[in-house]
Structure 1
Amino acid sequence: MFETRLKDAASQVQAHLDDVIGAMGDLPVVQAMSYASAGGKRLRAFLVLESARLHGIAPEQAIWAAASVEALHAYSLVHDDLPAMDDDDLRRGLPTVHVKWDEATAVLAGDALQTLAFELLARPEASADPLVRAELVLRMARAVGAEGMVKGQALDIAAETATTPLTLEQITELQAGKTGALIEWSACAGAVLAGADTEALSIYAQKLGLAFQIWDDVLDVEGDVETVGKAVGKDADAGKATFVSLLGLDAAKSRAQTLVQEACVALGSYGDEGETLRQAARFVISRHS
């Protein structure tokens, strides 16, 4: 059930983004936006659509928030891959945007995808209630700004020149911003659309987001470039502290498994209806990319 819904979410969001971006013309920056927003697991979009389903929100409404978070995620990847950031040449098995075009186009495409994300949330199709749209935008801004994703990336960059490796607590804070904040926004979006309480989904997403990042660290050690779709082993080569380097491989895997169990428990109030989200949590520590 989960895999089917994940694939459905991916195809629905891809079609929606293709329609929206395709209407912008054929300039290189638009081509780069389309290129950057294609592919991927679409886990964040799935979380939006599934949380919306749990709260009785129609898919044709929820798709706007789902497409928004994927546009935002695509922007973050384009900028993370830049030479000034992580300097990666490969993403999802393909050349990164700055490699396929150039750095200026990559910066502009990322900027345009970020602003598109907020445009999609602000459109009346996202919700007939302007207060709901404003709440989604506010939560998104907090999740991706200097208190969320940008903070996490800034801490990550600072760690590269720090005289001492990060502690486990510091890495957890870093990843809560860099990865976890947007995952939390996604899982809570359906409840926000319905005007419902977000506490259970917030706890679920915090556990899920941390497990996701721990498993990324595992894949950086155990994965191969063909399967993962990007360079592996870079953290170890750079001497960066990760969950694996601090905990050890087996302990990191065990920690991720515990977090997934805790995420599943957090969904108790949803009963059997929350099973697909529980399967999503289990998925993040069974994936190979």
Structure 2
Amino acid sequence: MSQNSRNKNLLLSTPYLFQRQLSDFLCLETRLMLRKCSKRCQSLVDSMPLTLDFLAIKASDYVNIKYSESKIHTEDEYVSSYIAVLFPCVQCGDWNISYSEKLGSLLAIFLKHLKSLISSLPHQINVQHFSLGGNLLTPEDYCDVLSCLKSEKLESISLFGERTGDSFDKIAHLEQIKRVSTIDIRHAVDRVPLNMLSNTPNYLINVRNISEPEFIRIVEQHLQRDNFEMGRIAVGKDEMEPWITDFLVKNAAVNEDDGSMTATLEGPKFKNTVNVDDEWIVFRRMI
């Protein structure tokens, strides 16, 4: 950019500190438009902290990204944008193998560039609520994307798509997982990812089965953490019989009007309740 062009560029002619503070007032769409002005503008925009209220990435038969951010000077309204990469799932059952292979290859290339774009930013992304999933994502993809988020700003993480317990073990060590206050695991997993939930105040998980030792570990360890608030586990009660009924009877559980049973659990530090019905186990901290 020539000196004359620079002098005419209001943004680049302002003090650097002002340029950085300006990022608080620019929506993502405006930033993307500024990046096209020049290489200096692109570099400046990329160096600005990126703050989003919500960010979701789904990669299955197609890839889509959804985000929302607060409007300027408005706290109770949101601007939402939806970006769909045009790799739609073929609805008919007559798949063409070569087309399927090409589609998978294109999706893999897109995911590679998406991860490269996110990781190339000179800062972590400030996002409050984050959602990630899809059968195209590997455990390494989860680690790569989650590590690009600023852990201090995260309030909730939602994970979906078929995953194994080993997959969750690989992301349990991430600071983003350790510090977030709410974790939702939407697809059923084979076992409770206890290591991943070891420091989470609120969680919701779907499991195909829960063993008695896992249940006891939650009661004796997780429920006695200082920061625990509520844990919800979706699991069929039939999968836990007869030991779950024996546990409830032993702890003087009472029958609720909805047919569930609630027991009060006295611990060395805190008192909690456990409510069990045909489909859910709900742990709550008593105030």
> Which range, TM-score by smaller chain?
under 0.3
Task: Give the TM-score normalised by the residue count of structure 1.
Answer: 0.25
The structure that is helix-richer by fraction is: 1
Higher relative contact order (CA 8 A, sep 6+): 1
The structure that is strand-richer by fraction is: 2
Greater Rg, structure 1 or structure 2?
2
Task: Give the TM-score normalised by the residue count of structure 2.
Answer: 0.25
